[in-house]
Amino acid sequence: MNNFTLLEIKNLILEQNTMLQMLIPHNVPLSQICDLTNKSRQTVRDYLINNFEPEVDFYKKNGRIIIRRNAAVAIVRRYNAKR
């Protein structure tokens, strides 16, 4: 492959990444992640607490756990990869 082809591939990947960022909200409620993964609230909550940083990757708002985009994507990928 020449440099031009690699540059085209890089641009396509960056464009797809931008599109995905637009589709996924910045903050996702725990209940939505549970619906997407078909896992219980307790399972997702335990995984979240054991593997992510409070106030960085998730936080509480009005009694609800809100998960930031990067953590939400990681959790969905983890549980959907096992299917």
Look at residue 23 in the predicted model and tell me its pLDDT.
84
Look at residue 82 in the predicted model and tell me its pLDDT.
59
Residues in the chain, overall count: 83
pLDDT, averaged per 10 consecutive residues of the chain (83 residues), comes to 84 88 89 93 96 96 95 90 62
Look at residue 50 in the predicted model and tell me its pLDDT.
97
Instruction: Determine if the pTM surpasses 0.85.
Output: no
